């Protein structure tokens, strides 16, 4: 555990801590008192103005705590220079901009407020009714306003699989891959929150038996199982972030599905990389899990060979033991099929290294910037993070529980990503990241 953590902050991670909110003590609950992820929500309950009043909340058990109500009631303190409506905003950016000390302070206060032995809110029935909304009744919104989005390519297993499939298996990795985190600048405007339908894209397709491309709907639509991190503290133009300091600039993590049109991408990506194959949608989960909540699950990342250049070196452990799953449910099916199980700990390049490399040339980052990990694949065939790999470009279709097979995604399919860290009698979860595919426009 990080030595910079205070005793109060360490107490929020105690596996023995329980909440007076009974559902938060369920061993399978994604949102126990040890988690407390931040998001933005609204609701349609009586007296609530609904989506016009989207505001900051924290997930706890099967409830969402309205931080604006708790602050107005005097139960949450903010820095003296903070705008007093920071929790009544439709995005987390203003809260995040208060800095890490403020994030940690609010998390400590909430942990104490929700602890089983604290009567302040527990015994105030009227305030509880105002301060909580059932998670099932909440409308969850994109948690941050995203100024910029970058997607990396940091799983060695994934890069090796793709390189083997489309190039020479003996030279699957390009020479630069092991020297730096490879990435590209994506499209922030098409990042959507979980539950938003995704329309199959149209584009240019180069068919093997055709001399020129044709225009039409993507035929090889895929998911990319990823996580993403949200920048919590930016850097000035021309001033890189040191690798050792990079985690201090990260607010937290989300699940991320960087939908991919493989056939469009195969034709367009040379020489400048993905464009329309990735710009049509990227889905993220609505809850941002803080790095502090993930601290007990910190593990060593894979060995890096060759040793990275000096600006990409950091001491200690910088991976996290996050179990990840992909579930596919065809339209009309009662049950989803889990098609992949993997873990974030397999990532070759860490989040700190990604951020350090992103800024080393002088690029400035801003509060709310989103950085995707790249597809997360493990070492076994059932741990691959994309259908491209799971079916080896549709050569080996997957069998579904509901009947039928899949090489790539079909219209009406619903894809759900799930992720969690398993503790002693509790789990720190991310919830789910869900999207359903609509037909392409004619």
Residue 244 annotated in ligand binding: no
Nearest to 387 by CA among 165, 205, 89: 165
SS3 353: helix
Q: C-alpha angle 233/253/227, rounded to 5°?
A: 125
* Cα 436 to Cα 200: distance, rounded to the nearest angstrom: 10
Helical ranges in 61-191 per DSSP H? 67-72, 93-96, 100-114, 119-122, 125-131, 156-166
266 labeled part of a ligand binding site: no
What is the DSSP annotation of 196-242?
Answer: --EEPPEEEE--TT-SS-EEEE-SSEE--EEEEEEESS---TT-PPP
Peptide bond before residue 223 is cis, with ω within 30 degrees of 0:
no
**Catalytically annotated residue among 71, 141, 158, 249:** 158
- Nearest Cα neighbor of 377 from 221, 179, 164 is 164
Written as one string, the DSSP assignment of 73-111 is TT-S---TTS-TTGGGSSSSHHHHTT-HHHHHHHHHHHH
Tell whether 282 is in a known binding site: yes
365 assigned binding-site residue = no
Question: Is 125 annotated to bind ligand?
Answer: no
311 is in an annotated binding site: no
Structure tokens at 230: 């949200």
Q: Is 247 annotated as a binding residue?
A: no
358 has catalytic annotation: no
- The residue assigned the tokens 């309950």 is 45
On whether 226 is known to bind a ligand per the annotation, the reply is: yes
Tell whether 48 is in a known binding site: no
Task: With beta carbons less than 8 A apart as the criterion, state whether 328 and 335 touch.
Answer: no
375 annotated as ligand-binding: yes
Is 167 labelled as part of a ligand binding site?
A: yes
Q: Which residues are catalytic?
A: 158
Feature table: binding site for Ca(2+):
151, 224, 226, 258
Binding-site residues from annotation: 151, 153, 167, 224, 226, 258, 265, 269, 278, 282, 375
Binding residues for Mg(2+): 258, 278, 282
């Amino acid at each position: 555990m990080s030595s910079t953590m205070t005793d109060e902050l360490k107490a929020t991670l105690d596996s023995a801590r329980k909440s007076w909110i009974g559902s938060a003590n369920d061993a399978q609950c994604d949102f126990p008192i040890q988690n407390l992820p931040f998001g933005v929500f609204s609701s349609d309950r009586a007296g609530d103005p609904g989506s016009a009043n989207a505001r900051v909340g924290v997930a706890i058990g099967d409830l969402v705590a309205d931080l604006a109500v708790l602050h107005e009631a005097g139960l949450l303190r903010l820095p003296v220079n903070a705008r007093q409506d920071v929790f009544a905003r439709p995005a987390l950016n203003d809260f995040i901009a208060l800095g890490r000390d403020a994030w940690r302070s609010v998390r400590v206060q909430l942990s104490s407020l929700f602890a089983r032995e604290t009567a302040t809110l527990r015994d105030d029935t009227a305030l509880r009714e105002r301060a909580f909304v059932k998670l099932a009744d909440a409308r969850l919104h994109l948690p941050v306003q995203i100024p910029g989005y970058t997607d990396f390519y940091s799983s060695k297993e994934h890069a090796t699989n793709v390189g083997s499939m489309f190039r020479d298996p003996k030279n699957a990795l390009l020479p630069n891959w092991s020297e730096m985190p490879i990435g590209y600048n994506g499209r922030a405007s098409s990042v959507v929150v979980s539950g938003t339908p995704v329309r199959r894209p149209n584009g240019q397709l180069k068919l093997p038996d055709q001399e020129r491309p044709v225009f039409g709907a993507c035929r090889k639509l895929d998911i990319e199982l990823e996580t993403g991190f949200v920048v919590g503290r930016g850097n000035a133009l021309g001033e890189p972030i040191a690798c050792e300091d990079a985690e201090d600039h990260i607010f937290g993590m989300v699940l991320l599905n960087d939908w991919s049109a493989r056939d469009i991408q195969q034709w367009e990506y040379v020489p400048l990389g993905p464009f329309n194959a990735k710009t049509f949608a990227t889905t993220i989960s609505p809850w941002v899990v803080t790095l502090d909540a993930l601290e007990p699950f910190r593990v060593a990342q894979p060995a890096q060979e060759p040793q990275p250049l000096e600006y990409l070196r950091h001491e200690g452990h910088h991976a996290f033991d996050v179990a990840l799953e992909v579930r596919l449910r065809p339209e009309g099916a009662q049950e989803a099929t889990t098609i992949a199980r993997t873990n974030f700990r397999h990532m070759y390049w860490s989040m700190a290294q990604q951020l350090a490399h992103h800024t080393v040339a002088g690029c400035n980052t801003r509060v709310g910037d989103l950085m995707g990990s790249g597809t997360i694949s493990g070492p076994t065939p059932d741990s691959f993070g994309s259908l491209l790999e799971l079916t080896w470009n549709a050569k080996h279709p997957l069998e579904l529980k509901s009947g039928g097979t899949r090489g790539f995604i079909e219209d009406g399919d619903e894809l759900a990503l799930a992720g969690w860290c398993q503790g002693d009698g509790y789990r720190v979860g991310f919830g789910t990241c869900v999207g359903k595919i609509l037909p392409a426009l004619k």
